Amino acid sequence: MSFLTDKPVVVTGCAGFLGTAVVGILQSHSCRKIVVSRKADYNLVDMQDVKRLYKDAQPDVVIHLAASVGGIGANLHHPGKFFYDNIMMGIQMMEVGRHSGLEKFVAVGTVCSYPKFAPIPFHVDDFWGGYPEETNAPYGLAKKMLAVQSQAYRIQYGFNSIFLLQLNLYGPGDNSDEQSSHVIPAFIHKSVQAQRRGLERITFWGTGSATREFLYVTDAAKAIVLASEKYNDSTPLNIGTGQEIRINDVWEIIQREVGYRGKVQWNHEMPDGQPRRCLDVQSMKERLEFFPEMTLEEGLKNTIHWYESECLDTPVSGNSQHEKPVVRHTIS
């Protein structure tokens, strides 16, 4: 951590799911000058607020995590907002950073930027091989432009910017709002609530046959901090586990851990999203000397325990009727 220890580091999106974990990892490594950027203080879609952030913080390093993001439903309902917010935040943060003499800009992108039918596992050589999956293309393309900007700025200005491609995150603290959550928190929320209410059947979107690769949030945060320390290349870097699993198989693990005995009905009229997702992570292993530690099974247990402990008044037990509203986590 010698590179980051004594430098002012700005973390955008610090109040979000991933941002909280990244700040925690920085603190655990004795990074003493962490400046957190919250939406309530700086609206990064507004150029004047971006300039004010840089003036106030005087950072040497920026880790840009802030995003407008959600699951398939949220992407379908807010494609314009997700495109505009994400592209404006990223482009402006990098541009003002260049003018401010920033030493390093860490842009965190998304697996949604890959082509819909990229060969498995996704390799950066195939990054420009086609259009992203339609339901989340506006979000994915907005983030993808940060890779273009990063490479262009390195060529013309010698600006040290890196672009990391992360995939589906999960873990304690995730957004469990039914209107905007991703697949794992949605599964946990619905199955726990169904168990408590004695429901015999629950419904999920799609067919359950699509595949995903999931990364525990703490492992993702460790990889981002390591890349901030070690990686200095304009080539996008995949961050993940390289392990692919069907959505239906994830559901079966969660169902078993929760103890829900009802049936699931897959709504085939609703989209699956991208058919398959799995990253080639060989470069991550070599360049960062890192591989994720948390297994999916153990990570799901931790996430379920957190949900039962923090989002409900008592852990699930039989047909307990004691319940309080689910905590809503805002994206910042």
Please give the positions annotated as active site: 139
Question: What SS3 class is residue 35?
Answer: strand
**Alpha helices per DSSP H over the chain:** 2-5, 17-28, 47-57, 72-77, 79-99, 137-157, 183-197, 217-230, 247-258, 282-288, 296-310
Task: Give the number of other CB atoms < 10 A from CB of residue 301.
Answer: 14
CB 169 within 8 A of CB 298: no
DSSP string, 251-296: HHHHHHHHT--SEEEEETTS---SS---B--HHHHHHH-------H
The answer to whether 125 and 69 have CB atoms below 8 angstroms apart is no
CA 312, 75, 63, 22: dihedral to nearest 10 degrees? 20
Q: What is the DSSP string of 122-159?
A: B-GGGTTSSPBPGGGHHHHHHHHHHHHHHHHHHHHH--
Q: How far is CA 109 from CA 90, 114, 238, in A?
A: 10, 10, 9
- Vertex 33: Cα angle to 60 and 289 (nearest 5): 75
- What is the three-class DSSP state of 23? helix
Instruction: Give residue 259's region: left, alpha or beta (phi > 0; psi -120 to 50).
Output: left
Question: Distance between terminal CA atoms of the chain?
Answer: 27
